[in-house]
Structure 1
Amino acid sequence: MQTVLYARVSTVEQTIEHQRTQAEAAGFRFDRVLIERGQSGVGTRLADRPEGRRLFDILRSGDVLVVRWLDRLGRNYEDVTATVRELLARGVTIRTVINGLALDGATADPMQRAVRDALVAFMAATAQAQAEVTREAQAAGIALARQEGRGFRGRKPTYTRAQLAQVRDALGRGEPVSGAAREAGLSRQAVYRIAADPAGSEAALVTWGL
């Protein structure tokens, strides 16, 4: 049996280390760590990503797959739910760092299976919805930046694009502002501003060329 951490970020600029650090702080120890950089969880299925393919190759019955949250597997509802079903059918246990969830295929009780499958479906749907909200905010931010031009740029953002993505991700999971601030390494005031105006936050990054 082995324990494998799968960590993913959608751009090469984002750091992956916080995913491993959070997992270790939660008490996880790994035999392998697979790191996926610059891979979208929306447009690319897990099985089509380099490290995602490795997951399917190496995971066997009795193994444990650790992810920060199910959205690391992907942000496409069909892909995530199909992936979870296949892994559970293999006898793999999936554990999340956030909230310490454990998903396995051991139970034969239909009611327990229904509850488990409903939870997976909810998490996968939430991940896709958050990705769609983020995409819309980015488009609105770019449009706003173009409309206003670069003559007046306002205050330079105190956050990076990676931190903005982390805040959106955390808030989309229902994390409180304090939790989102902790994850992204920002002040609560910065997170409040991002939450209040996601399009404007994106626009600020665009106008400053960040």
Structure 2
Amino acid sequence: MTSSLPAAVLWDMDGTLVDTEPYWMAAETPLVESFGGTWNHEQALSLVGLGLDDAARILQSAGVRLPTTEIVTRLTDNVIDRLSTDGVPFRPGARELLFGLRAAGIKTALVTMSLRRMATHVVDLIDFDAFDLVIAGDDVDRPKPFPDPYLQACAALGVDPARTVAIEDSPNGLRSAIAAGTVSLGVPHMVSLTGVGAHALWPSLDGRTVADITDLHTAHASSKEIN
């Protein structure tokens, strides 16, 4: 079988490219507690991979008496402040793989349910030209797990979803990538991805190269047989 470079590699952001999930969780707890509620780790995990509006509604059910838009704004501002102070906390191997993909001339897109202003803040902190495109949560009508974010990214890049690889760390993200018809790669972080239906699950991106992504794409782009 001849190896085939993917037309593009599509990256989730929070928990996949950067380890910002703890930042979100750290912002959620004091927000809930400020309204007299409680917020535990299991509840925080239930928000991983959700669109921000959906996450805000869950926080409202936990007692946060604020409009959805204000909850999203407060959480986003808090996480941006942490990023500005601490820099970009890349997941293991993510920066190196992303840099390698760019060096190989492969198109890349960031496909995240975070707000565009946060996504562009992260991209601006990366010390090389990392992405051809950013699709954020406020750019789409339907968030992950709907296929819309990945379909919109592929349309903007001018590529067939079947010729792309999407990298995700959450069940909702993977469901979106699978529904869009990409070759889906799960790299679990805080929640299990077993049984979601990814074409492959890697425990980490550490040590992974363009050759690994190419082999994954070659193995699944034609058959599209879900493991």
Alignment TM-score, normalising by the size of structure 2: 0.26
Question: Relative contact order: is structure 1 or structure 2 higher (C-alpha 8 Å, sep ≥ 6)?
Answer: 2
